[in-house]
């Protein structure tokens, strides 16, 4: 233990002695260097007066003015494809079909037949109606005459048949004379009863007797009718005849009204309704056929084709692009922000990949109906451009770069965007004067990538310190 302590003390003394020796020899110690702070020079900007132009750069392509993506209206498997990419087709041509198109073709044919029959029926009714109306009017007039006769017949039964005394006396005298002639004829015939039946005299007497008897019966019947009243059966029969005549007249009036009317229950209107129903059924049959047939909505060229026989397709999924290459334009799809700033008639500088070194001028000729994010499903967000010089030829599919002038402000104060700061919704700058910087709030106007319009807060010639 003691030896260990001695060794430690010896080592400590040795270290102290070495330190003293070094200090006494006059050696120099090098101090640690401290780096000099680097002063960052912030950029300075001069408030200037000039032009501020806001532009939007779009990338586009030369496309047909008339271009449409085609699709089936039902799911299924492609049975046949009748065209290939690059083919020219006419309006209404069948481009492709799904499975079992025959059934739909038969339905369309049946519906077309029904329309033709309904049209024929309407034409027949329209031709027949005037004739049937005339016939109904004739029948109505006859029925009215019969009705008047039936009314008069019933009236006759309701009053005394004969009231004139002279007329009564005439019928009574005729009846008495007929009775006297009958008696004389009977006596004469009886006086010849002994003669043979084949005797001419007896035969003449028999004929005279028969004629006298007939005349008596007639005169007696006339007298009985004149002196008597109508029996209940006569009244009942006359009433039935009147009711029949009235019913016949009512029916004739209904026929006239039916054939002369254009109301909902007339034959003409019913024929029109049948034709309308057949037309609607034909339209439905054609719609069903359209679901399995892809037809060209206009004459043009097949630009792209995405199906082949046996392909599985979904309803309303684009399978073919059809276009009319005879008229071309430039289309571009902008961002939603740029789309909100674009308007019909705005000027654009155009550079085409096929015309290097040339700069053309175009104007916006068409915009989407609704402003939304580019690429929204089912919505065309393309901006359409037309060259001002229509004689310049365009090449289908050519790439284009378009610089659209959104707005221009002349003779305004401006600064570059780097000179302006923003905090909590306020825009401001730091203005330097005589080595002193101070904050100044500013109002901004039109903005572009290189310049920002200053509406208030600064004057021309002031120096602004950037960030």
Instruction: State the pTM of this model.
Output: 0.46
Residue of higher predicted confidence among 338 and 101: 338
Residue 227: half-sphere exposure toward Cβ, Cα within 13 Å: 13
Task: Calculate Rg over the CA atoms of the chain.
Answer: 60
Q: Which of 319, 317, 322 is nearest to 296 (CA)?
A: 322
Residue 449 is assigned to a structural domain of this protein: yes
CA–CA gap between residue 199 and residue 351 (Å, rounded): 143
For residue 55, tell me if it sits in a domain: yes
- Count how many domains the chain has: 1
Question: Which residue blocks in 328-414 are alpha helix, DSSP H?
Answer: 336-339
Q: C-alpha distances in angstroms, 67 versus 15, 59, 324, 326, 343?
A: 97, 19, 6, 11, 22
Would you say residue 439 lies in a domain? yes
Examine residue 337 and state whether it is found in any structural domain, yes or no: yes
* CATH number of the domain enclosing 433: 2.40.30.170
Question: Whole-angstrom Cα distance, residue 135 to residue 138?
Answer: 5
Over 80: is that where the pLDDT of 72 sits? yes
Residue 26 lies in a domain: no
Q: Is residue 443 part of a domain?
A: yes
Range of the structural domain that residue 405 is part of: 42-66+325-467
pLDDT at 141 over 70: yes
CA angle 267, 270, 272 (to 5 degrees): 110
In a domain, 143, yes or no: no
Over residues 402-450, the pLDDT tens digits come to: 999 888 999 999 999 999 999 988 999 999 888 889 999 999 999 888 9
Asked if the structure places residue 401 within a domain, the reply is: yes
Tell me the mean pLDDT in the region 225-233.
Answer: 69
pLDDT tier, 197 (very low <50, low <70, confident <90, very high otherwise): confident
């Amino acid at each position: 233990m003691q030896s260990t302590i001695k060794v430690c003390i010896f080592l400590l003394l040795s270290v102290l002695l070495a330190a003293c020796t070094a200090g006494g020899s006059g050696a120099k110690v090098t101090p640690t260097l401290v780096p000099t702070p680097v002063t960052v020079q912030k950029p300075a900007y001069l408030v200037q007066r000039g032009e501020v132009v806001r532009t939007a750069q779009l990338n586009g392509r030369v496309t047909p003015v008339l271009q449409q993506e085609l699709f089936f209206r039902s799911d299924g498997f492609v049975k046949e494809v009748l065209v290939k990419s690059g083919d020219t087709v006419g309006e209404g041509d069948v481009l492709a079909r799904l499975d079992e198109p025959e059934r739909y073709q038969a339905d369309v044919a049946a519906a077309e037949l029904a329309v033709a029959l309904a049209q024929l029926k309407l034409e027949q009714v329209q031709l027949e109606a005037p004739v049937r109306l005339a016939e109904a009017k004739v029948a109505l007039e006859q029925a009215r005459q019969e009705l008047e006769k039936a009314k008069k017949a019933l009236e006759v039964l309701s009053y005394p048949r004969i009231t004139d005394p002279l007329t009564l006396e005439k019928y009574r005298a005729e009846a008495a004379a007929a009775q006297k002639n009958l008696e004389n004829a009977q006596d004469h015939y009886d006086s010849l009863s002994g003669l043979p039946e084949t005797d001419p005299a007896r035969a003449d007497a028999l004929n005279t007797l028969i004629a006298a008897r007939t005349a008596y019966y007639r005169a007696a019947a006339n007298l009985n009718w004149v002196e008597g009243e109508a029996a209940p059966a006569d009244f009942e029969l006359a009433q039935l005849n009147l009711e029949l005549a009235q019913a016949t007249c009512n029916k004739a009036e209904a026929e006239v009204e039916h054939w002369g009317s254009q109301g909902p229950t007339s034959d003409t209107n019913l024929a029109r309704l049948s034709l309308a129903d057949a037309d609607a059924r034909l339209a439905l049959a054609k719609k069903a056929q359209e679901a399995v047939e892809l037809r060209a909505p206009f004459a043009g060229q097949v630009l792209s084709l995405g199906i082949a026989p046996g392909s599985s397709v979904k309803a309303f999924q684009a399978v073919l692009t059809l276009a009319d290459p005879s008229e071309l334009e430039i289309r571009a799809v902008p961002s939603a922000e740029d789309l909100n700033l674009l308007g019909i008639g705005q000027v654009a500088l155009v550079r085409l990949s096929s015309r290097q070194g040339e700069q053309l001028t175009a104007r916006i000729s068409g915009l989407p109906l609704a402003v939304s994010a580019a690429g929204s499903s089912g919505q065309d967000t393309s901006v359409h451009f037309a060259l001002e010089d229509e004689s310049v030829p365009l090449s289908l599919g050519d790439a284009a770069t378009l610089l659209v002038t959104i707005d221009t402000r002349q003779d305004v104060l401006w600064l570059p965007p780097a000179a302006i700061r923003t905090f909590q919704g306020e825009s401001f700058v730091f203005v330097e004067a005589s080595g002193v910087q101070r904050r100044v709030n500013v109002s901004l106007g039109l903005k572009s990538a290189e310049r920002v319009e200053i509406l208030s807060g600064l004057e021309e010639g002031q120096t602004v310190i950037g960030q």
